[in-house]
Structures are given as structure tokens and as C-alpha cells.
């Protein structure tokens, strides 16, 4: 079945980024001039997804507003550059794609958030994107994964090598060995202490699931952090289904974390056509 549906869980609190996220969704924090959620949406559109399902919640209205066509283009003396910017803003979502917003009424975690999409997912496979994992990659990581999924029809999870000391922030996997960037997942555990981490590969926020994951999510009890964990549902699914780890090509920035977010801004700003060169010379002077 062709992959059309992608879920963006955006109801999380962003507590690692307070006070910025007290009233502003963490997904609306900008890297240079675009909010994180727009990078995530553009990655999904590039990969061919056409049904964008946002699981939203309290204080997240700005995300819904962002993808509306609300800007008046009636200003007569606008420069061509401004006009182009306005056009781009009003065409983030092409006519061929649609946005669906579902509220997660209770903050019960990532697994619970994804389960809220069940009525619109039907029996189709789908992707999940966590927007605070910003990944600089060409092609984008979702496109890389869709190409692999077409080959295998097995659920796919993006992973990367992380410092073992950081395992407390990730779903950590046990795998056999990688072959062309893919490995079978044998076990998965949510945010273990470093001594309990089964490898140094951590899960990054890109997933493609066969529809069975929804049955496992529905049966998953509250786990780590008093939340219904996606990782626990994946672990149950491993008993009956193959799930593969995909070591993606690209550079990931953890933008739910202040330092990761600042690094992303520096890197994306250095690549900016208008001021990248000037920024580089500023940084060089600043650091000598
Ligand atoms: C979530 C998942 C975790 C994964 C991480 C990737 O955690 O629960 O398994 O490794 O995203 O960013 P969160 O960062 O939402 O706490």
C-alpha cells in the first residue's frame, strides 16, 4: 500500500526549553527563519506524503495557524522579493496535500498521541515525524526511508550512534549487524541507564510503521515517565513482526534541547545565501 499518511505528534510540553515554550509550541521555534514544524512538513512532502496528521493540544494553536493561508497580499508597493516570500508562505502546503488536526486531550505521551490518529489512519501504513529532531539531509530522511520501505514492507525506525551516556534520552535498540544501513531490531528499551543500553544506537524521530503498530499501541500500558510509550508498543510488536533499524544519511540536531537548537541555528545560518558569508567572518573574528 502506498504511503500517504504522516503523523506529527506536536502536543508535547517542550519542558526542556522553558521558559521559551511556556506559551509557544516548541515546534514553532525558528531555525533561522522557519519553524521546526515547517522543516518537518517539507521533509514529508518531499517524500510524497499527502495526508498530514497533526496531533495537537493545549497552547499549540500557532501550529494550526501557521499552515493556513492567512496573509493579505493586498499591499501594492511590495518589492518582488517580498511578493515571492508571501507566495512561498501561502504555498507551504500544496493543493495536492491536506492537513488534519486532532487534539490529544490528555498528556499521556507519544504512544497515546499516535493512537489518536487511528480513526484517520484506517488500515494503512504511515510515518511518524518528531519535529524537534531536525535532520539536515539530501534527500531528506523520510524520502530515504520511503525508498527502503518500498523494498521491504517492514516497519522502519531511524537510528544513529549516540554517546552511551546519553541513552537516558533515547529509545535504545539491540540489533544484529547492519547490511546496507539496515539491521533487524531484536529488542528496544526506552531511556535506559547507560549500563542497561543494549548498544550505542539510539532512535531518532522518524518512523515508518505497518498498521499493526496500532493494535500494539492500544494494548500498551503506561510506562517510563508515566506515559504510554511508543517504544513499549514496538517492543511488543517485535514478537510477531520484523522491525528494521535504518542508519540514515544526514546530520541530526536535537532541537528540543537548547544547545542542539543553537547548533542548528548556527549551521543553517552559515548556509544562508543572504548572510552566511558575513556570519562566518563574524564568528571567525569573534573566536580569534
Ligand atoms: C522520543 C522517543 C524516544 C526517541 C526520541 C527521539 O523521546 O520516546 O524513544 O529516541 O523521541 O527524539 P522524547 O525525545 O520525546 O522524550
Residues 190 and 203 grouped into a single domain:
yes
Domain enclosing residue 270, as ranges: 257-288
Residues 206 and 263 grouped into a single domain:
no
Residues 215 and 264 grouped into a single domain:
no
Which ligand 1 atom is the nearest neighbour of the CA of 203?
10
Q: How far is the CA of 153 from the centre of ligand 1 (A)?
A: 23
Number of domains in the chain: 2
Q: How far is the CA of 230 from the centre of ligand 1 (A)?
A: 9
- 110: CATH: 3.90.550.10
Place of cell 502506498: 2
Q: How far is the CA of 60 from the centre of ligand 1 (A)?
A: 19
Helix (H) or strand (E) run with residue 29 in it: none
Report pLDDT digits (tens) over 183-225.
999 999 999 999 999 999 999 999 999 999 999 999 999 988 8
At 10, the pLDDT band (50, 70, 90 cuts) reads very high
Residues 94 and 198 grouped into a single domain:
yes
At 87, the pLDDT band (50, 70, 90 cuts) reads confident
Residue of 55, 185, 189, 205 with the most ligand 1 atoms within 8 Å of its CB, for mutation: 205
Lining ligand 1 with CB less than 6 A are 110, 130, 133, 170-171, 190, 202-205, 230-231, 256
Q: How far lies 114's CA from each of 51, 96, 203, 227, in Å?
A: 15, 23, 16, 12
Report pLDDT digits (tens) over 223-263.
888 899 999 999 999 999 999 999 999 999 999 999 999 99
Residue of 170, 187, 197 with the most ligand 1 atoms within 8 Å of its CB, for mutation: 170
Residues 241 and 113 grouped into a single domain:
yes
**Three-state SS string across 151-201, please?**
HHCCEEEEEEECCHHHHHHCEEEEECCCECCEEEEEEEEECCCHHHCCCCE
Q: How far is the CA of 169 from the centre of ligand 1 (A)?
A: 7
Residues 172 and 129 grouped into a single domain:
yes
Q: Which three cell numbers stand for residue 137?
A: 539531509
Q: How far is the CA of 193 from the centre of ligand 1 (A)?
A: 15
- CA angle, residues 43, 47, 50, in degrees to nearest 5: 95
Report pLDDT digits (tens) over 95-142.
899 999 999 998 899 999 999 999 999 999 999 999 999 999 999 999
Kind of pairing, strands 243-247 and 51-56? Answer: unpaired
Residues 221 and 240 grouped into a single domain:
yes
Residues 241 and 283 grouped into a single domain:
no
Which ligand 1 atom is the nearest neighbour of the CA of 254?
12
Burial class of 34 by CB neighbour count within 10 A (0 to 12, 13 to 18, 19+): middle
Amino acid at each position: 500500500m502506498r504511503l500517504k499518511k504522516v503523523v506529527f505528534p506536536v502536543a508535547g510540553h517542550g519542558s526542556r526549553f522553558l521558559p521559551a515554550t511556556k506559551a509557544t509550541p516548541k515546534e514553532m521555534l525558528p531555525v533561522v527563519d522557519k519553524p521546526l514544524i515547517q522543516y518537518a512538513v517539507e521533509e514529508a512532502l518531499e517524500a510524497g506524503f499527502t495526508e498530514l496528521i497533526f496531533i495537537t493540544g493545549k497552547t499549540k494553536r500557532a501550529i494550526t495557524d501557521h499552515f493556513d493561508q492567512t496573509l493579505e497580499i493586498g499591499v501594492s508597493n511590495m518589492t518582488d522579493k517580498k511578493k515571492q516570500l508571501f507566495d512561498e508562505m501561502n504555498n507551504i502546503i500544496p493543493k495536492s496535500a491536506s492537513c488534519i488536526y486532532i487534539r490529544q486531550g490528555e498528556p499521556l505521551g507519544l504512544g497515546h498521541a499516535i493512537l489518536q490518529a487511528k480513526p484517520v489512519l484506517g488500515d494503512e501504513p504511515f510515518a511518524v515525524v518528531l519535529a524537534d529532531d531536525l535532520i539536515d539531509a539530501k534527500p531528506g530522511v523520510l524520502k530515504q526511508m520511503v525508498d527502503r520501505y518500498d523494498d521491504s514492507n517492514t516497519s522502519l525506525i531511524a537510528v544513529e550512534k549516540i554517546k552511551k551516556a546519553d541513552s537516558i534520552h533515547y529509545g535504545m535498540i539491540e540489533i544484529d549487524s547492519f547490511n546496507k544501513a539496515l539491521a533487524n531490531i531484536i529488542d528496544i528499551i526506552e531511556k535506559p541507564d547507560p549500563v542497561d543500553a543494549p548498544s550505542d544506537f539510539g532512535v531518532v524521530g522518524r518512523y515508518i510503521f505497518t498498521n499493526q503498530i496500532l493494535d500494539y499501541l492500544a494494548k500498551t500500558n503506561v510506562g517510563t515517565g508515566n506515559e504510554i510509550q511508543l517504544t513499549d508498543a514496538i517492543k511488543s510488536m517485535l514478537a510477531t513482526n520484523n522491525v528494521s533499524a535504518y542508519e540514515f544519511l544526514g546530520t541530526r540536531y536535537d532541537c528540543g534541547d537548547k544547545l542542539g537548537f543553537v547548533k542548528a541555528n548556527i549551521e543553517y545560518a552559515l548556509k544562508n545565501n543572504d548572510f552566511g558569508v558575513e556570519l562566518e567572518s563574524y564568528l571567525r573574528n569573534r573566536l580569534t
